Amino acid sequence: MIGRWVALWDRREAPTSLAITRLLVGLVLLFDLAQAKYTHAVEAAWSGPPLGLAWGSQNTPQPFVAAWFGASPRTAEWLWWLALSCCVLFLCGALFRVSALLLSVILFQIGRFEPDADAIDQLLRIALPILALSGAHACCSVDAWWAHKRGQPLCTSVPAWPRYLLILQLLWLYFSAAHNRSDAAWYPWGGFSAVSNVLGDPHFARFPPGTFQGAYHLTQLGTAATMLFEGSAPLMLLWFWRGSRVRWVWLALGVALHLGIAITMQLGIFPFGMLALYPVFVHPEELSNAILRLRLRRGA
Amino acid sequence: MKLAEGSPLVRAIRCFIPLWPRARALLIAFALVLGLISGFPAPNAQAVERFPAAWRGVARALPGVQAAVLAPFRFISDGCAISQRWTLFSTTGGIRYRLRVEARDAHSKHWRLLYRAQDAEHAFMRRELEYRRVRNGWNPNRRGIKPSYAPFSLWIARTILAQDAHFDRVRTRMERVQILARGAGIAWLGDYAFELEHGREVLP
């Protein structure tokens, strides 16, 4: 049993899935940082009161950035530039471990500045250090290109454990979200009205409340599908183990759920940040087989 | 710098390398157990009342046990601002809120609506206010208003008063709205909540 556990976490695989995850997570983070700048929200979000909303910067003990440099608009601006630089390096896979670890530390600090931040921020704060320790830069990266240029052999296998950990994290997030819902609206006895309710919330809805009244039954179906999807997340482990095709249905449901959220609600990077981590669900071998099949089809 | 072949550090590293897979597997197992304990759903007081009498004591003790076990590792969750309890849309429907930002004309003493959530006609600083990190500051969560709401109110008041000398006061408050059944939209309940008001004294 112990031997199998050790062997499981000692497995190696091609770096493709993790590299794609790195690229997508990097893009999402870059977009979020660019949006913060574009909306002139950098100073507001990361300066301490009365200059901004970052009340967490006054907590005891203070986040070290606030303690050393003060939670001022200037520090916020400086933090943003540093996060942006690290994010670009992370995305390109340049000086990967250093840039990824530094980006993680910046995200931890930002997280302490705004303790009420979105779930996606928390998820990325967990995912990023795992990616930093992975071989996500072993392909499609500046580091890999540089190593190749210096005559080093291409890295064809990296440890698989970071991908496994990210899979477990995503499955737990969904399952935890499902079992933390005490609101009857998510269940049959509440009429499966939760999605319809959320689509009417003036702070989140993309369309005016009442827009989806004609599609109420569809929203009920959406609620039931969401609970089924999230509640069944632990079964994915079984489906993975048995190589069952049901997992593709589950993944398709997840993609549909997040795209639905992106279209109907204003939740910032949440749906895209979640989807950016989905490549970890695909084994690199499956990925290369799919690419090969596509190439053969094009050739034919 | 190259370490000598027989140096104690090189020997120590050589001894440790074969052990690394086991150490890593142990560390991962430990992290998973801590994560599960951190994410284990401790029932709230209302839920505990619905439990069978025999289980209520256990359920009440659970958060304390959880906190005690996790106490030595709090520096990780606090420092990294992470936890494993995920509450996404745990409450929906019922009473919701709609933010209003209003400013008072210094001469006429009339309040003017500058911003209202999901109101295209009153969209002052909309891009900024609706950016997710700023919205997080003012959007109430399932427990009510957040600690960031007061700093938000102060910040927006300072911003408006500094920009426009015609205004002498700024207030933020939320329309209380009821989510109607079967997706019929929302209805204003006729009152407001979480009202905060600031005058020019908040300017430096």
The interface predicted TM-score of the complex, written ipTM, equals: 0.92
Cβ atoms within 10 A of the Cβ of A15, count? 27
What is the reported pLDDT for B136? 93
Residue B1 has pLDDT above 70, yes or no: no
Q: Tell me if A50 and B87 make a contact (CB, 8 A cut-off).
A: no
**Mean pLDDT value across residues B106-126:** 96
Report the alpha-carbon distance of residue A130 to residue A160 in Å, rounded.
Answer: 11
For an interface test with B, which of A39, A218, A219, A272 has the most B Cβ atoms less than 10 Å from its Cβ? A39
What is the reported pLDDT for B17? 83
**Residues B100-110: pLDDT tens digits?**
999 999 999 99
What is the reported pLDDT for B189? 97
For an interface test with A, which of B22, B28, B131, B133 has the most A Cβ atoms less than 10 Å from its Cβ? B133
Instruction: Encode burial over A172-190: b for 16+ CB neighbours within 10 A, e otherwise.
Output: bbbbbbbebbbbebbbeee
Distance from CA of B107 to the nearest CA of A (A): 27
What is the reported pLDDT for B3? 65
A187 and B173 Cβ atoms separated by less than 8 Å: no
Residue B6 has pLDDT above 90, yes or no: no
Plot region of B52 (φ>0 → left; ψ -120 to 50 → alpha; else → beta):
beta
Q: Tell me if A45 and B133 make a contact (CB, 8 A cut-off).
A: yes
Distance from CA of B10 to the nearest CA of A (A): 23
Distance from CA of A23 to the nearest CA of B (A): 22
Residues of chain B contacting residue A108, judged by C-beta atoms under 8 Å apart: 79-81
**Residues B9-67: pLDDT tens digits?**
888 888 888 899 999 999 999 999 999 999 998 887 777 888 888 888 888 899 899 99
What is the reported pLDDT for B129? 97
* Grouped pLDDT means (10 residues each) for chain A, 300 residues: 94 97 98 97 95 92 94 96 98 98 97 93 98 97 96 93 98 96 93 96 93 96 97 95 92 97 96 98 93 84
**Residue labelled with tokens 């208003």:** B145
Q: Tell me if A118 and B202 make a contact (CB, 8 A cut-off).
A: no
What is the reported pLDDT for A52? 95
Report the alpha-carbon distance of residue A167 to residue A170 in Å, rounded.
Answer: 5
**Residues B68-93: pLDDT tens digits?**
999 999 999 999 999 999 999 888 88
Report the alpha-carbon distance of residue A144 to residue A148 in Å, rounded.
Answer: 6
What is the reported pLDDT for B2? 62
Residue B127 has pLDDT above 70, yes or no: yes
Six-digit token string for A17: 């899935």
What is the reported pLDDT for B56? 87
Q: Which residues pair with B198 in a beta bridge?
A: B170
Where are the alpha helices (H) located in A39-72, listed in sequence order?
42-46, 64-69
Three-state SS letters, B12-75: HHHHHHHHHHHHHHHHHHHHHHHHHHHHCCCCCHHHHHCCCHHHHHHHHHHHHHHHHHHHHHHH
Q: DSSP 3-state assignment of B98?
A: strand
**What amino acid is encoded at B181 in this protein?**
A
Which of the four pLDDT bands, split at 50, 70 and 90, describes residue B142? confident
Chain A residue with Cα closest to B153 = A53
**Residue labelled with tokens 């507001």:** A44
A198 and A204 Cβ atoms separated by less than 8 Å: yes
What is the reported pLDDT for B15? 83
